[in-house]
Amino acid sequence: MRRRKLKPYVLPTLMIVGIIGVMFATAMLRVNLNKNKPSDELTSYVTNTVLEEEEPVIKESTIMINPYKDTDIKIGKNYYDYKGDSATQEKSIIYHDNTYMQNSGTDFVREETFEVVAVLDGSVTDVKEDETLGKVVEIKHDNGYVSIYQSLSEVNVKKGDVINQGQVIGKSGTNELDKDMGNHLHFELYINGKVVDPTIYLNKELQTSEEKEQ
């Protein structure tokens, strides 16, 4: 009986078919195993290596504007800086009722009355009229910022109002404390309860970062 020989291309073809069969069987086995696993096991890799290791951060940046919009307004008296030179400190002293006091804000002056605007978004926490300071508006902002506007001749807001940055809150005026300065705005800025030099923050970008809630 004559022995039949396989043609040269038959054996490689059978091997390829066999490999494909093994790969298909392995894939089907994995699918069946995954079907029996709880859903939380299937997602554990993602939540552990991506969501837990990454800490999403929200970055916000805002520029604090001047408390006025007119361009011809100047500084009449600077904030008293304890670290400043003696000449600058001398110009930042207020004399009233036979008493010398350090200026706790910056005074902006112009001969004519000018509109006063909010330096940031916020809410009005106080509106009052003081015999010495004149009409006063206090606005609380995010991140511990509080701005105070004194020596106002008019007030356009009331306590509890929500204020937008640049919104007119009143007009400049005079007061008894700085009577010699004439028409002006006395502006103070507090950060986390501490008074600071407003000119360091005006027209500067303020950045805050906070963790996104998980």
pLDDT, tens digit, for every residue of 139-163?
Answer: 999 999 999 999 999 999 999 999 9
22 & 100 share domain: no
28 & 107 share domain: no
Q: What residues make up the domain containing 18?
A: 10-51
Name the domain count of the chain: 2
Nearest to 124 by CA among 136, 146, 139, 144: 139
44 & 71 share domain: no
135 & 85 share domain: yes
How far apart, in whole angstroms, are the C-alpha atoms of residue 154 and residue 170? Answer: 5
37 & 112 share domain: no
Q: At residue 55, does pLDDT exceed 60? A: no
46 & 25 share domain: yes
What pLDDT does residue 196 have? 95
148 & 182 share domain: yes
Q: Residue 107's domain is classified under what CATH number?
A: 2.70.70.10
In a domain, 15, yes or no: yes
Q: Residue 24 corresponds to which amino acid?
A: F
Tokens coding 68 = 């006025």
77 & 129 share domain: yes
- Between 125 and 91, the higher pLDDT residue: 125
The overall average pLDDT reported for the chain is 79
123 & 183 share domain: yes
- Specify whether the CB–CB gap between 67 and 120 falls below 8 A: no
